[in-house]
Amino acid sequence: MPPSFTGFTEKKMEDVALEIEYDHPKSRYLRTERLPHIWCPGCGIGIVLNSYLEAVGKSGIPAEDIVLVSGIGCTARLPGYSNIDSYHTIHGRGIAFATGMKVANPALRVSVISGDGDLFNIGGNHIMHAARRNVDMLVICVNNFNYGMTGGQHGATTPIGSRTASSPYGSTEDSFNLPYIMAALGASYVARWTVLHVRQLVQSITRGMKHRGFSFIEILSTCPPNFGKDNNFPSGFSEMEHYRQFCTVDNTANLREISIDFLAKKPIVLGEFVNERRKTYHEREEQVMKMAQGDQQ
């Protein structure tokens, strides 16, 4: 029989699935048995997964040394699809969990990937202290400006004036400017990219993974059925087009001025804003332990 235009008609669906699994360039790092994933068409989280896995390969860090942690939300499902040791913890507590793991086994390379609501609303207290302590971990925040998983409520990152399920006439609250906050809290690597800027993103995640200290990367993403629908981005593509038109890269930007305002059509400033080497939490602990042991002799 001649093949159909897809070439797949004569094969059983299971065979096709096996072929896709076998052929996928990232299959080594994916739990393909978990697919299909839960994300909506046009959602940016898949790009984050692909970029993270690309960075794992580029970093040269053995996958066995990496642990991936998340809280709860659409973004927080990401670690479950990766073939890296992963923990899907409770809402807002990914960083506390990751900190404990790093303290217990400092050789681990710990990444936390979670949503804006998880990290900065319910989990805001934890991220603050991990940055202050310069705990050696990478935190990636997928910022889609709302609580995607629970139907699109507004939160700490929803830009003022933006409409959401819980702010139908526009949010009346000022939003967090995440790079500014994280730099002020003591994060020693801080960057912001979007799901459109994949090359820079992969490079930045690779750097963040290798950086010694608390690394923070904000990734501006898309959520077409919730935040997008209510704010003139009915498709993932339309929000990507906004990023294409309005993003500029400025690594030396004044962080105080880079908050996001879609309504004002303000430029969206991206870049690698902070990259400095400071003693990590673990290094300071080790120093104090050595001093204490010296005192006892």
Site for ligand TPP in 140-179 (CB under 6 A): 142, 144, 147-150
Which lies closer to ligand SF4 via its Cβ, residue 81 or residue 180?
Answer: 81
CB 71 within 8 A of CB 114: yes
Q: For Mg ion, which residue of 50, 144, 158, 194 counts as binding (CB under 5 A)?
A: 144
- d(CA 146, CA 286) in angstroms, rounded, equals 40
- d(CA 172, CA 104) in angstroms, rounded, equals 43
Site for ligand SF4 in 184-223 (CB under 6 A): 223
- d(CA 48, CA 57) in angstroms, rounded, equals 14
Which lies closer to ligand TPP via its Cβ, residue 222 or residue 259?
Answer: 222
Regarding 114 and contact with ligand SF4 (CB under 6 A), the answer is: no
Note the residue count of the chain. 297
Which lies closer to ligand TPP via its Cβ, residue 30 or residue 72?
Answer: 72
Q: In terms of Cα–Cα distance, which of 71, 64, 65 is closest to 95?
A: 71
Regarding 43 and contact with ligand SF4 (CB under 6 A), the answer is: yes
Regarding 205 and contact with ligand TPP (CB under 6 A), the answer is: no
Which lies closer to ligand SF4 via its Cβ, residue 111 or residue 146?
Answer: 146
* 3-class state of residue 187 by DSSP: coil
Site for ligand SF4 in 217-236 (CB under 6 A): 223-226
Residue 256 gets which letter from DSSP? Answer: G
- d(CA 218, CA 183) in angstroms, rounded, equals 12
What Cα–Cα distance (Å) separates residue 64 from each residue in 28, 29, 107? Answer: 12, 11, 11
Q: In the complex, which residue's CB is closest to Mg ion?
A: 115
Least Å from the CB of residue 76 to ligand SF4: 10
Regarding 88 and contact with ligand TPP (CB under 6 A), the answer is: no
Binding site for ligand SF4 (CB under 6 A): 39-40, 43, 45, 74, 144, 148-149, 223-226
